[in-house]
Structure 1
Amino acid sequence: MVDPTTDGQRPVHTAFVHTAFVHTAFVHTSVVHIPGVHTSVSTPHSWEVFLMASNLAPRFSALSRRLPALLVFWSLGAQAIPANAPDGCARTRSAEGITEYRLDNGLRVLLAPDDTQTTTAVDLTYRVGSRNEHDGQRGLSHLLEHLVLRGTPTHPDISASFQRRDMNVKASTSAERTHYAATFLAAPATLAWYLGWHADAMVHTGVTRADVDGVLPKILDEVEAGENAPERVLRQKMRSAVFHWHRYGNDPMGTRADFANVRIDLLRAYYREYYQPDNAVLTITGKFDAAATLSAIVETLGKVPRPSRNMPADYDVESLRDGNHAITLRRRGGYPLAAAMYHVPAPHSRDHTLLLLAADMLATGGAHRLRGELVTPGLAGTISSTALGWRDYGLIEFIAALKPAVDNDNAQRILNRTVESVRLHPYTQAELDQARRRWLDGWTRAQADPLALADALSKASVSGDWRLVFLERDRVRDATLIDVQRAAERYLLRANRNQGSYIPTAEPERQPATAPIDLGPELKRYDTDVD
């Protein structure tokens, strides 16, 4: 399924860890929910796995801010990390209670044991998503996500296996990652079994026509749900317009045409290319024995051979904006929307963090600027800001859910003007202090959540390095008003704006559908007889 972080709810604000490690971002994450397995179809914002603020945002987005609390847990309940790694892996680094290992086959492992927890969370992430899909391949990552959860010859009914062990499992696909996350009451046998299943799935997932036919109905249901969500459609169309060249503009959900014509040989090659240990990150958090778990990892996933192929190089580069762009969507149903999207640097840039704070001041809290301009006068019901970030680029977007009969053009002008007027109306120290407090207090209040921690570390790893989680926290804490103002003035510009409007229309105009034309009969009359 597509990474669902909002499920169609109005997002409030997404923190760096949650959005950037989107992870992702425009992450069309199709979360697959199975009985005992959580694979749910993401809706509007989640498909793309738009990493936005949602019901989970307070936990995910604040991860970096929550770290002080996590460190308390670790200092009180964390186990000693094995001093000597078993044969087949090497310890590479440790930071703030987390230790990284590298197996001989290339698999990266992050362990963060915490004996104060009662559950274990396991996240296996493959660095593959819609950015890796070429023409005719849209949705291959999403398709493989579902195929893995179909089972293997050794594990033919994986859903039942999860249910018997009382496991909560979800999977999602986004622009840069496909991941499988599980939580369960801490039990060494369950953990060892789950690691063994992943090793089996990495090698023996069925990729045949029958397998594809078995999962396509579920996938097409997700596609249809996305097509029927106006906000999700508007966001995807804006994203495609924002990224002219980079495949971040691809929809992680995939397209009906490519699913209908999928070539099994290409799908199988895609699986063998990306579902490999040297392209994966395994993160385990919560309650578990670190030494025993590391040995279990080596004995299961560590036995998968390292591939001989070299990963294809990424060469997509997006051109600089040469002016603002606009998208208008007219469909039946829903409520009117006004949105603005701005190119920003990737999460590893300090400016990305500064812009998160700038967006927070514009659209979060009880008295933010956009509320005063759109909600208080009765033009909009809700306002949200979303920060998206991937390895190469980032986006900041604002969206207003308008009241019925409100003039879209007028609301759009107010939205644009408010966001882009920071030069004329600079931020205040009080606004920055409140934004920073929201971030840091959110982390302090949040309880240690093994699944949220594993997810954030996974997203950070895909974006460049899991330690970005800690760097983000420190950047939020150290940001100055001058720095935030400078970043906002550089990026929240008209020339950098991509705006979108959704206008509910009872009878939208549509051009006729086109179909291939056989010109043979018409052209035949020009032929002359040839002896």
Structure 2
Amino acid sequence: MLRTFFMVVLSLLTSQLGLLSAFAQETKSTIKEVTSIENITEYKMDNGLKILLYPDPSTSKVTVNATVFVGSRHEGYGEGGMAHLLEHMVFKGTKLHPDIPKALKDRGAIMNGTTWVDRTNYFETLSSEGDNLEFAIRLEADRLFNSFIRREDLLSEMTVVRNEFERGENDPVGILSQRMLSAAYDWHNYGKSTIGNRADIERVPIDKLQGFYKKYYRIDNIMLVIAGNFKKEQALGLIGKYFGPIQKPDTPLESTYTEEPPQDGQRQVVLRRVGKVGAVGVVYHTPSSSHPDFPALEILEEVLTSQPSGILYKTMVLGKVATSVSGYAFGWHDPGVFEIMASVDGTADIDKTRSLLLETIEKFRASPVDKTEVERAKTKFARSRSLLMSDSNRIGISLSDWAAKGDWRLFFLFRDLITKVTPEDVQRVAQTYLTQNNSTVGTYYPTDKPERIKIPASPDLTALLKDY
């Protein structure tokens, strides 16, 4: 009986000491303000967690966005698609949150996760009432570090990822874009698809996936963005409560260092797949989104492809040579590309369309840029940015993208620099980067039936050589 009494007392003391220890851990990691721009404030915890708070009392919603700075750029040999696959697995549950989708749906949350070349993010938008903010912060602090990443979940989720992969495979124009990127990049991972290689997706060992998770899902490689209707003091207190006890690993996280060498000649890609509508495209290597030339490249894309005044739109679409024209300046952490695509219906001459596309770009480079078109493009960007700033929930996601490009403050630097872009700037970047030696040209020829040749796998050498 006496022994039982002492055991109870010991248990109570141990419990109290545990609570004190947990409290000590929570108060050990402090949160410091770093900087503030236009009501968006950055904080940093001692353990390395970055925090952005954007309170907006005009909305009834709050968005919690957790960004992990890992994307396809960070994948090694045999790891193609691993960052994206992990995005799916982090929805599969933890001990505290065994059914994450249900927990979010029960609170009426709008939720998603996305993976791109430089980052993976998870976000949920909920009503700002009740304990929803605490729920979302607690959920992210749990699943970012304690997800099961189980073999059985991998097998079930594989079907979902495979279906997503196959949807992409059924989009020839998207595949042409990817093939051009693959040909443009010899060494950098930007040439690899975020969705990954099918064989890697299907064969990835669970221990490799768990290792990738532990390597990159660490407190000093994450930024937490909270935007919407909330109180700063409450949010910081909850962040400290749930993220504060998480320790930063002793080993520093290694950075990627591969640099794509200059291209020294035009490259060409030909794609033949079943389809009805052909396509032609071209990509040019360009600087990263943090480079001073990037705003001018964004304006350049708009001046070339916008409806109805873009020179490519007028020449290609209004000229009945292409059914559509689009462009994109890919602004990434490392140097990216500038892409132009044109769709061609089945009755058009695809080769002539490709030649006209390249000729029109060359003529544009050699001519002064219309000031009216530049101002129109700048006005469009300003209007788009104004709409974004009026939606605090969208801003949180946009800020995480810019953070993955190097720093969230680039969001504001880009806005300010784009207002200063001149016609001379646009012509200069066109003449600098839109050159033949810096280009990769792609052509998609639709076919009536598949023309692929499937190469057999290597044979079983044990069986093959059993008599030797």
TM-score above 0.5, yes or no: yes
Is 1:258 equivalent to 2:233 in the alignment?
Answer: no
CA deviation map 1:436-474 (0-9, x unaligned)? 112113333556112321111101111111111111111
Question: C-alpha displacement at 1:87, in angstroms?
Answer: 6.2
Q: Secondary structure at the match of 2:337?
A: strand
Question: C-alpha displacement at 1:277, in angstroms?
Answer: 1.1
The partner residue of 1:234 within 151, 157, 176 is 176
Is 1:506 equivalent to 2:448 in the alignment?
Answer: yes
User: Partners in 1 of 2:406 and 2:389 — Cα distance?
Assistant: 26
What is residue 488 of structure 1 aligned with on the other side? 430
What is residue 392 of structure 2 aligned with on the other side? 450
Whether the aligned pair in 2 keeps the contact of 1:245 and 1:316 (CA below 8 Å) is yes
What is residue 207 of structure 1 aligned with on the other side? 149
What is residue 396 of structure 1 aligned with on the other side? 338
Larger Rg: 2
Please tell me the residue identity of whatever aligns with 1:178: T
CA deviation map 1:158-201 (0-9, x unaligned)? 11111110001000111110100111121251110111111111
The partner residue of 2:231 within 289, 309, 318 is 289
Is 1:319 equivalent to 2:261 in the alignment?
Answer: yes
User: Partners in 2 of 1:289 and 1:309 — Cα distance?
Assistant: 35
What is residue 3 of structure 1 aligned with on the other side? none
Whether the aligned pair in 1 keeps the contact of 2:219 and 2:246 (CA below 8 Å) is yes
What is residue 402 of structure 2 aligned with on the other side? 460
Whether the aligned pair in 1 keeps the contact of 2:276 and 2:345 (CA below 8 Å) is no
Question: C-alpha displacement at 1:415, in angstroms?
Answer: 1.0
Q: Secondary structure at the match of 2:293?
A: helix
Question: C-alpha displacement at 1:480, in angstroms?
Answer: 1.6
Whether the aligned pair in 1 keeps the contact of 2:276 and 2:447 (CA below 8 Å) is no
Mapping of residues 78-477 of structure 1, within 5 Å: 88-445=30-387, 448-477=390-419
CA deviation map 1:63-101 (0-9, x unaligned)? xxxxxxxxxxxxxxxxxxxxxx99621111111111000
Question: C-alpha displacement at 1:392, in angstroms?
Answer: 1.0
CA deviation map 1:12-67 (0-9, x unaligned)? xxxxxxxxxxxxxxxxxxxxxxxxxxxxxxxxxxxxxxxxxxxxxxxxxxxxxxxx
CA deviation map 1:232-279 (0-9, x unaligned)? 211111111111101111211122211222122221111111111100
Whether the aligned pair in 2 keeps the contact of 1:119 and 1:450 (CA below 8 Å) is no
Aligned length: 442
What is residue 24 of structure 1 aligned with on the other side? none
Whether the aligned pair in 2 keeps the contact of 1:173 and 1:179 (CA below 8 Å) is yes
Q: Secondary structure at the match of 1:485?
A: helix
User: Partners in 2 of 1:521 and 1:289 — Cα distance?
Assistant: 68
CA deviation map 1:379-413 (0-9, x unaligned)? 21211111111111121111111122211111111
| TM-score normalised per structure 2 | 0.90
Whether the aligned pair in 2 keeps the contact of 1:168 and 1:183 (CA below 8 Å) is yes
CA spacing shift, 1:135–1:446, aligned 2, 3 Å: closer
Which deviates more, 182-191 or 324-333? 182-191
Question: C-alpha displacement at 1:514, in angstroms?
Answer: 2.1
Question: C-alpha displacement at 1:423, in angstroms?
Answer: 3.5
Q: Secondary structure at the match of 1:422?
A: helix
| TM-score normalised per structure 1 | 0.80
Whether the aligned pair in 2 keeps the contact of 1:130 and 1:138 (CA below 8 Å) is yes
CA spacing shift, 1:510–1:155, aligned 2, 3 Å: same
Aligned residues: CA RMSD: 1.9
CA deviation map 1:209-249 (0-9, x unaligned)? 12211211111111111111112211111111111101111
Q: Secondary structure at the match of 2:364?
A: coil
Please tell me the residue identity of whatever aligns with 2:184: V
Structure 2, unaligned runs of 5 or more: 1-26
User: Partners in 2 of 1:175 and 1:462 — Cα distance?
Assistant: 9
Question: C-alpha displacement at 1:153, in angstroms?
Answer: 1.6
CA spacing shift, 1:505–1:169, aligned 2, 3 Å: same
User: Partners in 1 of 2:148 and 2:385 — Cα distance?
Assistant: 42
Please tell me the residue identity of whatever aligns with 1:112: Y
The percent identity for this pair of structures is 34
Question: C-alpha displacement at 1:356, in angstroms?
Answer: 1.0
Q: Secondary structure at the match of 2:343?
A: strand
Q: Secondary structure at the match of 1:380?
A: coil
Over 3 Å off, 4+ runs: 444-447, 517-525
Q: Secondary structure at the match of 1:495?
A: helix
Query: Which structure ranks higher in relative contact order (CA pairs < 8 Å, sequence separation ≥ 6)?
Result: 1
User: Partners in 2 of 1:444 and 1:197 — Cα distance?
Assistant: 32
Q: Secondary structure at the match of 2:325?
A: strand
Question: C-alpha displacement at 1:519, in angstroms?
Answer: 6.7
User: Partners in 2 of 1:164 and 1:120 — Cα distance?
Assistant: 16
More helix by share: 2
Question: C-alpha displacement at 1:133, in angstroms?
Answer: 0.9
What is residue 14 of structure 2 aligned with on the other side? none
